[in-house]
Amino acid sequence: FDNSTQEPDYLPFLIPVLLINGATGVGVGVKMDIPPHNPREVINATRALLRDPNAEVVLIPDFCMPCDIIDTNWKQISNEGIGKFRARGHAEIGEFKKKPAIFITSLPQGVSSNSIKKKINDMVVAGQLPQVKDVLWAGDDKHVNMIIELKKDASPEYVLEMIYKYTRLESPYSVNFEAILGVDHLRFSYKSYLQVFIENAKMILFRMYCEKYQNEMTRWH
């Protein structure tokens, strides 16, 4: 904004970015937790509401890396704007150097590979995972590939279950769709937020065409 005209209260937008990008915020007695969602699904839900205001809106979070969202009542969360769920990173059982191994190929949102590695090493030192021989990193800046090398007679299924249970490879998340509308602090359902987005988008277009009309009338005069 270059200060050449009156500063706007808010800037125009094309898509419902709050649902697509997600947001986390803490204020006085307020904690917003909105996970990111798939842009195509959010836009399709918005278009469905344009066609039918009574349409149902049910959306499931979509993280940067592929994760398994543990089964949750997403209809209730979408309708109430509050709830909890768990996300599990992807791991596969295979062989490494002719020994059993676990390959971690994705992580939940906000979880680092270093935190997983540190927790596994701590469990090995504490005697909770004596089956683990070493934890190696074979990924790069774009791909996750953590190799958990196991001892010869180890049970990879048991080790993987322990990793899911005690590390953040399976992490809990909250949904609390609280936001400010004007001066009011509200908890939105997914549908009510999209309805507010649609009404604001209509008003932006209305004001834009009013300005165009005013400019043309002034020029005609």
Lookup: tokens for 212:
């165009």
Q: Which residue has the higher pLDDT, 10 or 81?
A: 81
CA 152 to chain centre: 38
Which pLDDT belongs to residue 181? 83
Q: Per residue in 131-186, pLDDT tens?
A: 999 998 887 777 888 999 999 888 999 999 999 999 999 999 999 998 888 778 88
Confidence of residue 28 (pLDDT cuts 50, 70, 90): low
Please compute the mean of the pLDDT values over residues 104-128 and round it to a whole number: 91
Q: Per residue in 182-208, pLDDT tens?
A: 778 889 999 999 999 999 899 888 988
Please compute the mean of the pLDDT values over residues 6-20 and round it to a whole number: 82
